[in-house]
Amino acid sequence: MQAALAISRLIDGLNQRIGRSFAWLLVAAILVSTVNAIVRKVFNVSSNAWLELQWMLFSAVFLFCAPWTLMLKEHIRIDIVNLALPRRVQLWIELLGHILFLMPFALLTLYYAVPFFLRSYAVNEQSLSAGGLAQWPAKGLVVIGFFLLALQGVSEIIKQIAIMRGVIEDDSQSGGLAASTEAEAERLLQQAKADGLT
């Protein structure tokens, strides 16, 4: 189990570094969008390449940050149902969800995305819009993104089994970053009330 947990830590570290780095592309997408809008309104000039660059940057953020989001347990859950169940049932739901839903989805997407990308790359597929960008890099993003998501799925399965066996501590009760942010907001609100600011 310790060897599997070491692999899990490597995957977590990789996806955390990638997620933190690629999250900054959101700023680039906003800047490209802003400049494109200003140029279009002020100079009446538009470029399909700039428009396509915007969605490619956003796609990279979404695809490369999804594994990091999964690692932080910030993905969407139906907590109102989940929290009503005993912790042991929650752990089984989490494990089976990763095995039966996440992994097949990620692997099936990879199965179809790899030849989709390779065909596009082989013919140097270009945009159908005049002045647009090459399309194969965007299709390559899908392959890399879902590969990283599948890796993170493996890491989450390893950690879930380790938690269920009592090998590592169950830290999921903290609820991830959203719960800690809400707790901090509540603390600040109580402090403001105590100081007579509200």
- Domain membership flag for residue 187: no
- Domain membership flag for residue 185: no
Residue 178's pLDDT is what?
55
Residue 163 lies in domain: 2-170
SS (H, E, C) 107-173: HHHHHHHHHHHHHHHHCCCECCCCCCCECHHHHHHHHHHHHHHHHHHHHHHHHHHHHHCCCCCCCHH
The number of domains in the chain is 1
Could you tell me if 169 and 87 are in contact, meaning their C-beta atoms sit under 8 angstroms apart?
no
- Domain membership flag for residue 52: yes
Q: What residues contact residue 17 under an 8 Å CB cut-off, 6+ apart?
A: none
Residue 148's pLDDT is what?
97
Residue 167's pLDDT is what?
84
- Domain membership flag for residue 198: no
Residue 196's pLDDT is what?
75
> What CA–CA distance (Å, rounded) separates 95 from 107?
17
- Domain membership flag for residue 100: yes
- Domain membership flag for residue 160: yes
Q: For the chain (length 198 residues), average pLDDT per consecutive 10? A: 88 94 93 89 84 91 94 78 81 91 96 96 89 90 96 94 86 57 66 74
Total-model pTM: 0.80
Residue 87's pLDDT is what?
84
Residue 96's pLDDT is what?
92
- Domain membership flag for residue 177: no
- Domain membership flag for residue 33: yes
Q: Supply 61's token pair.
A: 């953020």
